[in-house]
Amino acid sequence: MLSITAYALATALALFVAFIGARFLISPRPAAAGYGVPSAEGGTAYLEIKGLRDLTFGVLGLALIAFAGAHAAGWYMLVVALAPLGDTLIVLRHGGTKATAFGIHFATAVVVLLSAALLFAV
């Protein structure tokens, strides 16, 4: 049962990151607003770069889960937790709400770390 839970949570998180990346590629400005810091007027190149990076990280997570096993996926989740922790600080530094910073980004980091722990326990 632990194995199913660990893999299901890791897969859901990787799919979620890929979805976020796709959203930044398809609708960069609404995605930035959902992130917690609306984008400035002008080009969307940096938002699209973020989208491509997130999409890539999501696909990499899925590949590790499928082909490398729980231990490798656990290390991936442990390292990837740095991104939502950093996002928490970015939102706070740039005028986003504490609710968004902690309710979305910090909470995501906690769930990703939980996923890493479950994968290491398998």
How is the chain split among helix, strand and coil, in percent rounded to 5?
85, 0, 15
Question: Please, are residues 31 and 65 in contact by the beta-carbon 8 Å criterion?
Answer: no
Domain locations in the chain as residue ranges: 2-121
Q: Which residues of the chain have pLDDT under 70?
A: none
First to last CA, the chain: 10
pLDDT for 40: 77
pLDDT for 38: 80
pLDDT for 46: 87
Question: Please, are residues 28 and 51 in contact by the beta-carbon 8 Å criterion?
Answer: yes
**Nearest-angstrom CA–CA distance, 100 and 70:** 31
